[in-house]
Amino acid sequence: MCGIVCYIGEKSAKQILIEGLKQLEYRGYDSAGIAVHNGDRIEYCKAVGKITELEAKLNGRKMEGHTGIGHTRWATHGEPTEINAHPHMDQEKKLFVIHNGIIENYYNLKKKLEKDGVVFVSDTDTEVLAHMIARYFDGDLNKAVRTVMSEVEGTFGIAVIHQDAPGEIVIARRGSPLVIGVSDNGYFAASDVSAMVRYTKKVVHLKDNELATLTRDGFAISTAQAKRVERDTETVEWSAGDTDLNGFPHFMLKEIFEQPSTIENAIRGRLEPGEGVPKLGGIMPVWEKLKSCRHIVIVACGTSYYAGYVGRYCFEKLTEVDVEIELASEFRYRKFNFPPNTFIIALSQSGETADTLAAIKEARRKGASLLGIVNVVGSSIARETDAGVYNHAGPEIGVASTKIFTSQLTILTLIALLIGRHQTLPLTEGTEAIREIMALPDRVQRILAQANHIQAVAEKYHKYPNWLFIGRKFNYPIAMEGALKLKEVSYIHAEGYAAGEMKHGPIALINPDMPTVAIAPKDDMYDKMVNNIQEIKSRKGPVIAIITEGDERLKKIADDVIEVPPSLDFLYPVLTVIPCQLLAYYCADFLKRDIDKPRNLAKSVTVE
């Protein structure tokens, strides 16, 4: 969603801001803008559409200055127009603010300001911040921001500059991430480290209800009550190359092809083959409680939710734990009766998804212990949970999640195996599981080697407007994830169904114009899946079957097949999802979609 990047230092700010905004493009946005303080006054520029539009408008404009703020906006309050784009400013055009999040009481604040004669020019909630901070400003920008923090409700990550406070940027957060970057030639602030990883890997995370003043010589963090905070810098693992395409036409394809190594990263140093037990240092702080736990609720959104869904089957297979899976956005509206020693597992690539964050806060209130499986180190969900496991998968730039999904599946399996081995799972099953987990990267590689074949299947079917995905048990969530992937990037309508539900509705849709992707590896659901496929074929529905290598029976029945190597039933999803990802990618490519930034979608959904 919206992105923030700020710079103050020896270098000229304009180009650094533009480069930073380009690194944030993947988050999803519909307009952008920057403001630069040139020592005397502040110049700004905004544009609707891509950063290239902003660059075109800036072409020929010098906009010199060493202090600046930049923003990509994903419209919530007000359409994506230039007026609604950030930065927003006060009436005198002296104060400029950029904002991620939503000011929930903006309507009342706006009415109050209007009564005092303030004229609003945009439809945004952010504009109230500009007018309010400007009104409180008496030479101390940090104090003015602090005062406004106590009056606004909602979520925000903001950055503010003022004409009469040259040489400083004030940033503040509540519920919306902000990271300070420390480099040899200046200081950065951004909503996401990828905006500054080109310039520095040394970062300091701001916590909720904290603010900071950045100058050319340093930064000072304080709480909203003006209490000074000392915090050491951390070094991020990501490098500038991680955010490059490296010869791939799209990040989505690059990330699909990274999966052998991201799965490897998820298991590196975490397996003890002889003992049949994984080692997960990150969950040791809660291990005594976790090993005897009998109830887990997995919460997540989007693709992470479907990973959690597979995780449920996995826990049921390997442990004695009862597992529920709940959409984070629904979690708060349920009435859970948590038995004692319930664990919540929150899955999130970004670690910033607003609903997932809200769900774990609610679960904490109800007394549950919290585990996180998160990719972004130091993110809000990583901080809010009691313990957890990082994906170590590098930045995921494509809006449609791919490599994180298989990484999440791998880590969920490790956690289930660890608990299972301390409950009733025998050694032989533990060692077999570990052997098979270690084989996953090579097996994924074997599927990727069939990319040309999968591309040919996509070429044959990409013009069909409606698709069905079906699977059972471990592969039921893969059917849902396969359908999600296809609709996200190709805009083809697709539904993911439990194959056992076919007769309760979806079979009515089957005809020669409705292809079905049937996920039917050789597990204990195989025979039932073959029956479903036969039923579809009897109604002349085209079938693309994802099968285990050498399955001659389904090769004869299905119109097209994509083979995956043999595996254990609970590990098949790591393999069967790869053809679904590639099918979605190639269909979108044939349809010339904006694959890495599909319309209306955002990488990180930081508002409810």
* Lookup: tokens for 4: 């923030």
Region binding ligand G6P by CB under 6 A among candidate stretches 232-240, 295-303, 319-327, 504-512 = 295-303
Q: Give the up-direction half-sphere exposure of residue 213: CA atoms within 13 A in the CB hemisphere.
A: 19
Contact string 102-141 vs ligand G6P (x = CB under 6 A): ----------------------------------------
Q: What residue type is assigned to position 97 of the chain?
A: V
Contact region with ligand G6P (CB under 6 A), list: 62-70, 97-105, 150-158, 297-305: 297-305
Q: Is 2 a catalytic residue?
A: yes
Q: How far is the CB of 353 from ligand G6P (least distance, A)?
A: 3
Site for ligand G6P in 396-435 (CB under 6 A): 399-401
**Minimal distance in Å, beta carbon 395 to ligand G6P?**
12
List phi, psi (to 5°) of 180: -95, 140
Give the shortest CB-346-to-ligand G6P separation in angstroms: 8
Residue nearer to ligand G6P on the CB measure, 300 or 518: 300
The catalytic residue among 50, 487, 597, 603 is 603
Note if 293 is an active site residue.
Answer: no
DSSP codes joined into one string, 280-324: -GGGGGGHHHHTT--EEEEEE-HHHHHHHHHHHHHHHHHSS-EEE
Return the closest-CA partner of residue 201 out of 254, 241, 230: 241
Paired with 213 in beta bridges are 170, 220
Looking only at the bridges linking them, the beta strands covering 228-229 and 88-89 are unpaired
Q: Does residue number 353 form part of the binding site for ligand G6P (CB under 6 A)?
A: yes
Whose Cβ is closer to ligand G6P: residue 300's or residue 529's?
A: 300
3-class SS of residue 559: coil
605 part of the interface to ligand G6P, by CB under 6 A = yes
Q: Using the rule CB under 6 A, which residue among 348, 380, 410, 516 binds ligand G6P?
A: 348
Does 604 sit near ligand G6P (CB under 6 A)?
Answer: yes
CA distance 578 to 406: 9
Q: Which is nearer to ligand G6P, 141 or 299 (CB)?
A: 299
| Residue 303 CB, nearest approach to ligand G6P (Å) | 3
Decide the pairing of beta strands 342-348 and 369-374: parallel
C-beta separation of 413 from 437 below 8 A: yes
Nearest to 580 by CA among 498, 475, 500: 475
Residues in contact with 157: Cβ distance below 8 Å, sequence separation at least 6, in sequence order = 4, 99, 100, 101, 171, 172, 173, 176, 177, 178, 191
Q: Tell me how far, at minimum, the Cβ of 488 lies from ligand G6P, in Å.
A: 7
Q: Which helix (H) or strand (E) holds 546?
A: strand 543-548
Asked if 73 and 2 touch (Cβ cutoff 8 Å), the reply is yes
Q: How distant, in Å, are the alpha carbons of 25, 101, 103, 362, 373 from that of 607?
A: 18, 6, 11, 16, 20
Applying CB under 6 A, which of residues 303, 410, 490, 548 lies at the interface with ligand G6P?
303
Q: Return the number of the residue (122 or 408) whose C-beta is nearest ligand G6P.
A: 408
From the list 112-120, 131-139, 348-356, 452-460, the region that binds ligand G6P by CB under 6 A is 348-356
Q: In the complex, what is the shortest distance from the CB of residue 7 to ligand G6P, in angstroms, rounded to a whole number? A: 26
Q: Which of 2, 45, 293, 580 is catalytic?
A: 2
3-state secondary structure at position 407: helix
Tell the smallest beta-carbon distance from residue 74 to ligand G6P (Å). Answer: 11
Q: Does 601 bind ligand G6P (CB under 6 A)?
A: yes
Q: Which is nearer to ligand G6P, 375 or 516 (CB)?
A: 375
Q: How many chain residues interact with ligand G6P (CB under 6 A)?
A: 16
- The distance of closest approach from Cβ of residue 363 to ligand G6P in the complex, given in angstroms and rounded to an integer, is 16
Distances from the Cα of 500 to the Cα of 168, 169, 477, 531, 533, angstroms: 62, 58, 13, 10, 11
Residues 118 and 358: their CA atoms lie apart, in Å, by: 34
Residues 312 and 325: beta-carbon distance below 8 Å: yes
Q: Please give the C-alpha separations between residue 405 and each of 396, 421, 578, in angstroms, as whole numbers.
A: 11, 24, 10
The interface region with ligand G6P, picked from 95-103, 336-344, 550-558, 598-606 by CB under 6 A, is: 598-606
Per CB under 6 A, does 200 bind ligand G6P? no
Residue closest to ligand G6P when measured from CB atoms: 302
349 is a contact residue toward ligand G6P (CB under 6 A): yes
Report the residue number, 399 or 595, with the smaller CB distance to ligand G6P.
399
For 582, how many CA atoms within 13 A lie in the half-sphere containing its CB? 25
Q: Which of 356, 413, 475, 548 binds ligand G6P (CB under 6 A)?
A: 356
Rounded least distance, CB 555 to ligand G6P, Å: 33
Contact between 194 and ligand G6P by CB under 6 A: the answer reads no
350 touching ligand G6P, by CB under 6 A: yes
Four-CA torsion 254, 257, 258, 264, nearest 10 degrees:
170
Strands 234-235 and 179-183 come out as: unpaired
176 touches ligand G6P (CB under 6 A)? no
Nearer to ligand G6P, 124 or 356 (CB): 356
Q: Give the nearer residue to ligand G6P in terms of CB position, either 231 or 383.
A: 383
CB of 119: closest distance to ligand G6P in angstroms? 37
**What is the contact surface with ligand G6P in residues (CB under 6 A)?**
301-304, 348-350, 353, 356, 399-401, 601, 603-605
- Active-site residue set: 2, 603
